[in-house]
A and B are shown apart, each in its own frame.
Chain A
Amino acid sequence: MDFNFMINSFPKLLSVLPITLFISILGALLGLVLAVGVAIGREKRIPVLSPILSLLVSLFRGIPIIVQIYIVYYGLPRLLYYFVQHGKGSGLVLPSMLIGVVAFALNAAANLSESIRSAYHSVDRSQYDAAIAVGLTPYEAVKRIVFPQLVPNFIPNFSNIFLDLIKDTALVYNIGIIEVMGKANILASFGFNYLEAYLDALVIYLVVCFIFAKLLLILEAKIKQRVFA
């Protein structure tokens, strides 16, 4: 074990941590926005649209994220090229970062939409009925009664999915993004210090995940307190 290497590499790995965080946080936020739309679309049982959304969700949930990343990486430029007919050839090179974020957002959207639906179903329907019965509009009933109770139910699942996203960013060096794992590979390759580099990475992932898990737990407790007491 080369402890010197470990100590010297650590700050270098830390320096690319923002990339890891950028991809996972942006992916989660964009995914969340998409997921809300998907969850509403599925719950409203709109003909044609709802079954399509349901199919897409099972697809994204059933395919390893690395395969999704590759498919977005190779597929998205072609798709765009197809739509932008006037492109003359290799004019369309999308930045890896954009592709990474898109892949993560789509994957997160699929998982988050399921969590939103399950959080929604955990608020019993009769409370919505009661809100309607006392004269609230459907929008007010959701906003004032259902939504505030749905959120604390949703956070634990969100937390799991978000931590998975952070860990899965270790895959995006495959499309040329130098985040923590990518950096570890590069640093290790000069002197075959793989174990040392990966141990550094392990510590970073562990601490980051621990911090986010705690933060989300605190958020959940705070919201619960506001909603139910």
Chain B
Amino acid sequence: MALLQVDNLKKSFNNKTVLKGVNLQIDKGDVVAIIGPSGSGKTTFLKSINLLEQPDSGTLKLNDDQLDFSKVTPAEKLKIRRKIAMVFQNYALFKNKTALENITEGLIYGRNVSKDQATQRANKELAAVGLLDKQDFYPAQLSGGQQQRIGIARATALDPEIILFDEPTSALDPELVGTVVDDIDKLARNGQTMIVVTHLISFARRVANKVIFFEDGNVLAFGSPEDILDHPKNERIKQFLSAISKDH
């Protein structure tokens, strides 16, 4: 049985249709890379999965939980969100919280974990990304790379079924990209299910076992990294890949 199944997801903003009936099915342990041109709806799709955006219609199944986007209740939203975590392009750390508190916040107030247990867990996650000594630092006192690794620690501490990443490295200085990619790679090898929107083709090749090509609110292609990235059949994908490789 699929871990996550999304069917016919549609979303528009002020009469502009951004997602035109997207389907996706992923299994436990999958690492799915989403690539595609700017404005094609990748971020909107990711945010729809944990209902940061409210889709207009479609259905979602996560394990045994099922919901209809067109009539989702606040309680259902909360339930889904508490099984999914997200890592943001601009880190989105809570600026009024320390590194440690950024991680405990969701455990204490989103998962009802006791403060002591949450602190223990947060310390473990900080150690895993090598930032234990920064636990009392505020985001403003940390580099972009450090912030993003705390963003990742904040997500993994929640033991989510799935972690959604929206271009986790694109705001980073080039020399910091590697450490964050390594962190994500480590998660992949631990069997963490992830969906990663990225412009780094090399990263998609290295970490993902499935690749989705998004265009204009649709999934244009879905397959293994070899199929999509090395032997693309579609002209649009060939164009996109060659345009991107010129940038790097």
| Contact surface of A with B, Cβ cutoff 8 Å | 124, 126-127, 129-137, 140, 144-145, 148-149, 227-229
Contact = CB atoms under 8 A, between A and B. Distances in A.
Contacts of B96: 145, 148-149, 227-228
A127 B109 contact: no
Contact of A135 (B93, B97, B109): B109
Interface stretch (B80-88, B201-209, B232-240): B80-88
B181 to A, nearest CB: 21
B149 interface: no
B95 A132 contact: no
Contact of A144 (B52, B109, B140): B109
A229 B81 CA distance: 29
Given A130-B86, A140-B109, A145 B94 contact: yes
B86 A133 contact: yes
Interface residues of B, number: 27
Interface string B42-55: 00000100101000
Nearest to A224: B96
Nearest to A152: B96
A149 B95 CA distance: 8
Given A129-B88, A228-B140, A136 B109 contact: yes
Contact of A130 (B74, B94, B138): B94
A148 B97 CA distance: 10
B81 A135 contact: yes
Given A133-B85, A135-B82, A135-B158, A126 B106 contact: no
A134 B105 contact: yes
Contact of A136 (B47, B90, B105): B105
Given A126-B90, A133-B85, A134-B109, 7 more contacts: A130-B92, A134-B105, A134-B106, A135-B106, A137-B74, A137-B78, A228-B96
CB-CB nearest 7 A-B residue pairs: A135-B110, A134-B106, A126-B92, A130-B92, A133-B86, A135-B82, A227-B96
Nearest to B154: A134
B78 A131 contact: no
A222 B85 CA distance: 34
A212 to B, nearest CB: 26
Contacts of A126: 88, 90, 92
Contacts of A134: 85, 105-106, 109-110, 154, 158
B71 interface: no
A133 B52 contact: yes
A137 to B, nearest CB: 7
Contacts of A124: 90, 92
Interface in B87-120: 88, 90, 92-97, 105-106, 109-111
Contacts of B88: 126, 129-130
18 contacts: A124-B90, A124-B92, A126-B92, A127-B95, A129-B88, A130-B86, A130-B88, A130-B93, A133-B52, A134-B85, A134-B105, A135-B111, A137-B78, A140-B109, A144-B105, A144-B109, A149-B96, A228-B138
Contacts of A145: 94, 96-97, 105
A53 to B, nearest CB: 21
Name which of B47, B86, B96, B140 has the most chain A CB atoms within 10 A of its CB: B96
A131 B94 contact: yes
A117 to B, nearest CB: 19
A131 B52 CA distance: 10
Contact of B95 (A135, A136, A228): A228
Given A135-B109, A136-B106, A228-B140, A127 B85 contact: no
A222 to B, nearest CB: 14
A148 B95 CA distance: 10
- Of the candidates A133, A136, A144, A227, the one having the most CB atoms from chain B within 10 angstroms of its own CB is A133
